[in-house]
Structure 1
Amino acid sequence: MAMLIELILRKAAQEAIRLGNRYLCTEHVLLAMSMNSEARQLLTQCGVNPDTLKEHLKLYLETEVEMVSGSNNEEVLPTPAYREMLERAKKHSQREMERAHEREGKENGKGEEDGKTRLLGLLLAMMDQKDSFASYILSSYDISSHTVQASVMTGGVIRATWLKELCDYYDDDSGSDDPEDDDEGVELCNDDLEDEDGREGEDYRQWHRERESDLQLSRCTDSLTMRAADGKIEPLIGREQELKRALRVLCRRKKNNLLFVGEPGTGKTALAEGLALLLFQSRFQETPVRVPEELRSKEVISLDMAALLAGAKYRGEFEERVKEILDALIARGNVILFVDEIHTMVGAGATVECTIDAVSLMKPALAQGTLRCIGTTTYKDYKAYIENDHALSRRFQKIDLAEPTAQESYEILKGLQKDYEAHHGVSFSDETLRTAVDLSVRYMNDRFLPDKAIDLIDEAAAMIRTAEEGRTKNVLPGDIEKLVSEYAGIPELRINVTEQKRLARLEEDLKANVFGQDEALLHLARAIKRSRAGLGAPARPVGCFLFTGPTGVGKTEAARQLALCLGNHFARYDMSEFMEQHAVSRLIGAPPGYVGFDQGGLLVDEIRRNPYTVLLLDEIEKAHADLFNILLQVMDNATLTDNNGRKADFRNVVLIMTSNAGARELVSTTIGFTSSAEDSRSKSEKAIEKLLSPEFRNRLDATITFNHLNREVVLMIVDKLIRQLNQQLEERRVVLTVSEKAKTKIADEGYDPKFGARPLARFIANEIETPLADEILFGKLQKGGALRIEVDKTSGEFHFLFPDAELPAKSGRLRKIPAKAR
């Protein structure tokens, strides 16, 4: 035997003795090769990292191969697989040397032995043993016997044409070999087993049975500990309390099984992977969370349910697979099984004739503590699949994972920042990370932190990578805002404005759009600012207001403009739809047994989707009395629970109710007499007290009364309506001008104190928009033009004039329409 091979085999035996292993295996030889300089060169040419290979092999040999009891370990027993490998290595070496001489044109095939050829034979012999860990770890580098041979002959540079010729050459040549050669190793193994005494022969057979179980284990599982050793698991940030609780549960004698329960995207899988990383790191260094000694050698293995179910066609085949894997894990003893989405195991493999599923097969091992298991699931799936199965739920210790706060999510993004910067080749500023967290909380309400914030920075970086050349490689807050506007369907300008700026000009913006109600808007703006400053009750909505006053004076419009000024979602519910008792259930969902029980409630779903909402309950006096009882808990605790147990959070909701109660008393006010006005207001308040119970009124932040509109305010409303009409006419390239006398006529004839400003819109529609529509469709404004409305001095009616005017062309420029063309 060549000196190089002898050195490697001697080193393999020394490593087996040093590691305290009882048997000398193929993996010891591969470990020795990873330490030899010439063998390392061969492995590198084949695309294998010798250092990583060495770490994997050491971990395997320390945890999987039987150890010698006691401290005296002066010799090791070679396994049948080891002896079979040596025999196959000789044949591979002889065959390779003969082919090498044939290619060089030599007649004699027994030339001088080449060290590299013998190493090649040793490596090929290891790959022939498909059920060994050495073959498995080599195949994980995507290499085969053909690629190994090609890389040696080409010096590590594998050309496609040369590789094809080699594959064809070996495929043709392999058929001429004696088929009995491949069985000699197996026969030798059997002879060796029979030559051993009874005890050692049985040990060998037991070892082979474990090898077969390990083969099934490798198909359906993935080692998280191996991934941690390769640096493929991202570090866990935060969650120290959950980690400490998990370690306590795993150290229990019985029922040492964990179940992480939380909303999707809150980090359940990341916590399990972080636990595997913590256990691995604790072997070599001090960790932030102390790991007990008995857990440091544990290997966390993830179960792939798809691979477990794939191809199981016959009855009993799936159960056999599950039982085989469980027995293998229990036999190894140092394994923690991780099952992501563990609820998928409930019912897996069960049929009409046989109700035994995968979970039923696991229950005995879970109860006895012989198998430690970690599972993850959501609250919804836990309630549907696990909570009802008391025999299963009591075997797991439930650990709830709450959604991290905005600050915790920011720290998570800071911890992941380097990984995403390295992957995308961009950079993130602290402001960008905070923007991602804040905007995801505000506008992406159907998802949870930190997942939605991570998605934002990931896609923003991808957007920079796919942008045109010359674009800066810095991800800016504006990039996050653009993404959020696409996600939430909100104009980017509304996202760009900070809340501080909105609050600073809130009163001014409200007065610019709602006329004649300055006192009411002042009370509303002050209440909103108090809440945003943190001076309000933390467990209540932002504000609960009751708007009272005559119809048509701006109550509904004030709520709509408040939503626009705050940048919040606006939701309006007409209480005339909830006059009956059964209709109230639409807000929180139908009770069990009724139609629509599984659909949830309108109000709960609305607030869950849009936590930042201005909620308007219009004409509250028309609603059934049961609605007020539902609103009591909203106004007091800022929560509302639907028929499925889902809670909606109202802490960021502005609740506004409008009422016309007492409007008749206000209308009857005699202008100019203070005492009469005070009496009417007192009567209005009494009408509201009659409508609302004391406990309901006591939970209101303010009852804001809207006054009648005076003449000056009515003229301002007329101007606003004319501006809105002009905006509609821009598409038709028509410019409308209304004289002051015409505006006065609209205000005098269109306004009615009993009905407020709403008749103004009807008056403009009948007297101005109807004739204007005829002109646009059939008359002088078909191609656009200018229109001026005056009041005829004789008849007092509206008079339509078509003077020359500068009109905006489609290109945006001004052009003059001649009188003849009109």
Structure 2
Amino acid sequence: MDGDRRRNEREFILAAMVGNIDRMKEFLEKGVDVNCRHPYGWTALHTAAINRRSQVVKFLLDSGADPNIQDNFSNIYQVARENRTSPISVEVLRESEFTTLLRHDQMYRGCTALHYAVLADDHESIQTLLSAGANPLNTNEYRFKPEDYSRDIGMKTMMQKHSERYIAEQKQKQVEERRKFPLEQRIKQRIIGQEGAITTVCGAIRRKENGWYDEEHPLVFLFLGSSGIGKTELAKQVAEYLHKGKKNAFIRIDMSEYQQKHEVAKFIGSPPGYIGHDDGGQLTQKLRASPNAVVLFDEVEKAHPDVLTILLQLFDEGRLTDGKGKTIDCKDAIFIMTSNLASDEIAEYGMQLRAEADKINQQRYEGRPEDLEITETITISRRFKEKIVRPILKNHFQRDEFLGRINEIVYFVPFSRSELLKLVGMELEKWAKQAKEKHNIELNWDPMVFDVLADGYNVYYGARSIKHEVERRLVNQLAMAHESGLITPGCTVFVYADLPKSEEEKYKLQDSPSPIKIRVKSKGTDNFTDVDPSEHLKSSGQEHEKK
């Protein structure tokens, strides 16, 4: 069966080579993938483009072919080694099933159909590919764009104009996309709360995107606040927004690894003649690969002062010199430092502001409970920043010029009650999804569960404390019940809160087990049954001891 599939794919690509569209339709009806590859790496679209089959190119694109798919063929010698055959056999097959136009001493790996259409000087195919979304800026493995394969100045000029038009169109699309779906909305889908922090960061990013920033200096942020409150996640979301998921566009450096003077070499690389000279630095290597990345310096307060001197050069001049003396220009990068300095003061101040906001809300909307979840943006006063936070930062970093190169100091405050309930909801949804996917168990809950779990919030550990509370009070019970056979595939689990009904009862139960309880409805039954996994485990252990 697998042999038939491979044979059909090869015949489909040969039909593209000779321009037999009717034959190609037959293979597509048989289930052949329009983007299937020849054993040596090219696709039907590549074959049609290099052989000037413009009608076939149009047919393939209309059938769903990817205009930007890349060829995997490297050179006849490497392919021969990979397939355990001779270079001559590879050469003969390539000329008979792909093209005779390509030179054997040149490398084409990573070429798109547009590269091949330019090389074949096929204007009609080029226009068809561009109209279908082919990117004229795509480079192959050897950094060549389609225009680099132009045979004359006329073709090169035409491709350069297409590239300029493509860049302008992409910029316009990005502007429209940002207008329809602002950065704030995107980030708020992933981060609970922190309205003030998100607004500050998005404002700075917007200035940069639209050309309203100092191009001689990179953008620098300092994120302050307790652990588990969204600092790292916000940095990740900025990188995701700006670079659309490119893995090397988000660089995270743990500054607790650079507490000693000699570890500066690990940061930027050792000078010539020293051990590790050829390895390069952890930061410089990554910045050289992606000079416009979002760089996160985690727990920057733990770094040695000599490392901070390097950061000062980086923030001030937008460039960095590595251990080999080579300079990396990174003015387009965004640098984000996180720190726990003044986190206790910010948490205490934030809680005070939250309490004041809640009191005002209660008074303003008394008698209208549906409005009580209004979110108040907590604004940190200038006096608090100047009189409380700045002296702490200045005392630690010991240099005004370092703080002076920070564009925005961003404050992350404790969560409000409504935000905590959302965090609990996210955690429960995550575990419900896992229960369904891994164990085929339906997990539902009573709304009162949210309040009980939200009470486990610890202002110094942020969202992590909610995560741990859900695991401790609920997930532990589910795991015990699963191990004991109390919950089985196909059953439904209902989570509820067994709360005390009076103050006296509340006092008696203050040291008792979790008020989070579970009921189970087995597959094929109609009624729920209360189960207590810990009691079941205890009784099972006693029976085992008797035996």
For normalisation by structure 1, the TM-score amounts to 0.39
Q: 1:531 aligns with which of 180, 204, 208?
A: 208
1:553–1:414 Cα change, 3 Å: closer
Give how far 1:798 is off: 1.0
Per-residue Cα deviation, 1:162-189 (whole angstroms, up to 9, x for no partner): xxxxxxxxxxxxxxxxxxxxxxxxxxxx
- Say yes or no: does 1:435 pair with 2:135: yes
Structure 1 residue 577: deviation in Å? 0.9
Q: Give 2:97's aligned residue.
A: none
SS of alignment partner, residue 595 of structure 1: coil
Instruction: Tell me, yes or no, if structure 1 residue 791 matches structure 2 residue 468.
Output: no
1:687 corresponding residue in structure 2: 392
Alignment of 1:511 onto 2:181: no
Q: Which residue of 2 aligns with 1:560?
A: 236
Task: Assess, with a 3 A threshold, how the Cα gap between structure 1 residues 739 and 677 changes in structure 2: closer, same or farther.
Answer: farther
Matched, 1:754 2:457: no
Q: Please state how far the C-alpha of 1:617 moved relative to its aligned partner.
A: 0.7
- 1:350-381 deviations in whole A, cap 9, x for unaligned? xxxxxxxxxxxxxxxxxxxxxxxxxxxxxxxx
Sort the Cα spacing of 1:422 and 1:760 in 2 relative to 1 into closer, same or farther, 3 A.
same
Aligned equivalent of 1:594: 274
Deviates more, 1:428-437 or 1:628-637: 428-437
Cα distance in 1 for partners of 2:236, 2:425 equals 19
Instruction: Give the letter for the 2:204 counterpart.
Output: A
Higher relative contact order (CA 8 A, sep 6+): 2
Kept after mapping to 2: 8 A contact 1:776/1:784: no
Partner deviation per Cα, 1:628-672 (whole Å, 9 max, x = no partner): 211123223322232234443423322110111112323444837
3-state DSSP of counterpart to 1:802? strand
CA RMSD after TM alignment = 3.8
Distance 1:415 1:773, change over 3 A: closer
Whole-angstrom distance in 2 between the partners of 1:428 and 1:637:
45
Show the 5 A alignment for 1:37-48. Answer: none
Determine the C-alpha separation between the residues in 1 that align with 2:518 and 2:270: 57
Q: Match of 2:228, as an amino acid?
A: G
Quote the residue 2:432 is aligned against: 726
C-alpha contact 1:718 1:760 (8 A) present in aligned 2: yes
Query: How much does 1:432 deviate?
Result: 6.6
Mark the CA change 1:454 to 1:799 in structure 2 (over 3 Å): closer, same or farther: farther
**What whole-Å deviation, never above 9, does each CA across 1:262-300 have from its counterpart, x for those lacking one?**
xxxxxxxxxxxxxxxxxxxxxxxxxxxxxxxxxxxxxxx
- Aligned partners of 1:768 and 1:622: how far apart in 2? 36
Q: Superposed, which structure 2 residues align to 1:77-156 within 5 Å?
A: none
> 2: CA distance between counterparts of 1:448 and 1:654?
28
Superposed, 1:365-380 pairs within 5 Å as none
Q: Distance in 2 between matches of 1:759 and 1:765?
A: 10
Q: Structure 2: which amino acid aligns with 1:552?
A: G
What one-letter code is carried by the residue in structure 2 that aligns with 1:686?
P
| Contact residue 605 and residue 648 of structure 1 kept, 8 A | no
Distance 1:499 1:651 in 2: 22
Cα distance change of structure 1 residues 423 and 513 upon mapping to structure 2, 3 Å threshold: closer
* Whole-Å separation in 1 of the counterparts to 2:384 and 2:404: 23
Q: Return the alpha-carbon distance in structure 2 between the equivalents of residues 803 and 791 of structure 1.
A: 17
How do 1:732-771 and structure 2 match up within 5 A?
732=438, 733-748=440-455, 750-771=456-477
- Separation in 1, partners of 2:412, 2:384: 14
Q: Which runs of 5+ in 2 are unaligned?
A: 1-104, 106-112, 151-162, 167-172, 357-379, 501-508, 530-547
Does the C-alpha gap of structure 1 residues 448 and 540 become closer, same or farther in structure 2, counting only changes over 3 Å?
A: farther
Give the partner amino acid of 1:797: P
CA distance in 1, matches of 2:205, 2:126: 40
- Which residue of the partner structure matches residue 290 of structure 2? 610
**How far did residue 508 of structure 1 move?**
0.8
| Residue 715 in structure 1 maps to residue 415 in structure 2 | no
CA distance change for structure 1 residues 780 and 610 in 2, over 3 Å: closer, same or farther? farther
2:198: which partner in 1?
A: 521
Give the letter for the 1:714 counterpart: L
Is the CA contact 1:559–1:656 (under 8 Å) kept in the aligned structure 2? Answer: yes
Distance 2:192 2:528 in 1: 41
8 Å Cα contact 2:118-2:149 kept in structure 1: no
Q: Between the two proteins, what is the percent identity of the paired residues?
A: 27
For 1:783, what is the secondary structure of its paired residue?
Answer: coil
Contact 1:715–1:744 (CA<8 Å) still a contact in 2?
A: yes
Q: 1:576 aligns with which of 256, 272, 275?
A: 256
Distance 2:264 2:276 in 1: 13
Deviation at 1:775, TM superposition (A): 3.3
* Structure 1 pair 647–817 and aligned structure 2 pair: CA distance change class (3 A): farther
Correspondence 1:657 to 2:337: yes
Q: How many residues align?
A: 354
Conserved in 2, the CA contact under 8 Å of 1:612 and 1:653? yes
CA offsets 1:173-221 (integer angstroms, 9 cap, x no match):
xxxxxxxxxxxxxxxxxxxxxxxxxxxxxxxxxxxxxxxxxxxxxxxxx
User: Are 2:291 and 1:585 aligned?
Assistant: no
Specify the code of the residue in structure 2 equivalent to 1:523. Answer: T
Partner of 1:110: none
Residues 107-506 of structure 1 correspond to what in structure 2 (within 5 A)?
Answer: 418-420=118-120, 422=122, 428-430=128-130, 435-437=135-137, 449=143, 451=144, 498=174, 501=177, 504-506=181-183
The AA in structure 2 aligned to 1:701 is: N
> CA contact under 8 A between 1:589 and 1:642: conserved in structure 2?
yes
1:668 and 1:680 in contact (8 A); partners too: no
Q: Tell me, yes or no, if the aligned pair for 2:193 and 2:419 is still in contact at 8 Å.
A: yes
Q: 1:780 to 1:722 in 2, by over 3 A?
A: same
In structure 1, what residue type is equivalent to 2:480?
Answer: D
Letter in 2 for 1:740: P
Which residue identity does 1:420 align to in structure 2?
Answer: A
* Map of 2:543 onto structure 1: none
Cα distance change on mapping 1:592 and 1:697 into 2, 3 Å: same
Which whole-Å deviations, capped at 9, do the CAs of 1:465-519 have from their partners, x for residues lacking one?
xxxxxxxxxxxx9xx9xxxxxxxxxxxxxxxx95752574211111222222111
Q: Is the 8 A contact 1:502 1:565 kept in 2?
A: no
Query: How far did 1:744 drift?
Result: 0.5
Structure 2 counterpart of 1:738, one-letter code: W
Change in 2 beyond 3 A, CA 1:678/1:433: closer
Given residue 683 of structure 1, which amino acid in structure 2 is its aligned partner?
A: I
* Contact 2:424-2:470 at 8 Å conserved across structures: no
Provide closer, same or farther for how the CA distance between residues 637 and 506 of structure 1 changes in structure 2, counting only shifts above 3 A: same
Q: Deviations over 1:327-366 (max 9, x none)?
A: xxxxxxxxxxxxxx9xxxxxxxxxxxxxxxxxxxxxxxxx
Instruction: Give the TM-score normalised by the residue count of structure 2.
Output: 0.57
Query: For the Cα contact (< 8 Å) 2:118–2:147, is it kept in 1?
Result: no
Structure 1 unaligned blocks of 5 or more: 1-340, 342-412, 458-476, 481-496, 805-815
CA offset digits 1:435-490 (Å, max 9, x no partner): 341x65xxx9xx775x1556999xxxxxxxxxxxxxxxxxxx9xx9xxxxxxxxxx
